[in-house]
Amino acid sequence: MIDFEALRGLADETRHFIQMSEDKGRALRVVVTEHDVVLGIFPCAIEGIGLHVIKGHEILDRIANSHEIADYTHTAIAVHSREQAVALQQVLTQQVFARQVLAA
């Protein structure tokens, strides 16, 4: 069962952290880097709240397929739409890939 109120609370904390930061882009990267799973939450006409996994698909798949209880950190980021969540996921994925290439 998904606790949407808890996700809203996490998204509020994330928004506050980013708003209080001088470098908002860096603050967003810190939030994503510091958590294993990051969910984008957005208004949805059909379900009320929509969810998109921005980071952590592998962890959630492993938990779902093995039925094990895993210890992981998670947070939520409020976005305007699924498209915005997908765009954020793509940008972050590209940044991770670029760092891996530079480190090689």
What is the spatial distance between Cα 84 and Cα 38, in angstroms, rounded to a whole number? Answer: 14
Radius of gyration over alpha carbons of the chain, in Å? 14
Model pLDDT, residue 99: 59
pLDDT digits (tens, 9 = 90+) for 29-68: 899 999 999 999 999 888 888 999 999 999 888 888 887 7
- Distance CA(87)–CA(81), nearest Å, equals 10
12 Cβ contact partners less than 8 Å away, ≥ 6 residues apart:
78
d(CA 100, CA 62): 23
Mean pLDDT of the chain: 87
**Cα–Cα dist 101/1, whole Å:** 39
Mean pLDDT of the region 56-84: 89
Residue 94: pLDDT band with limits 50, 70, 90:
confident
- Token output for 89: 């996921």
Best CA proximity match to 48, nearest among 4, 87, 10? 4
So what's the pLDDT on residue 100?
Answer: 55
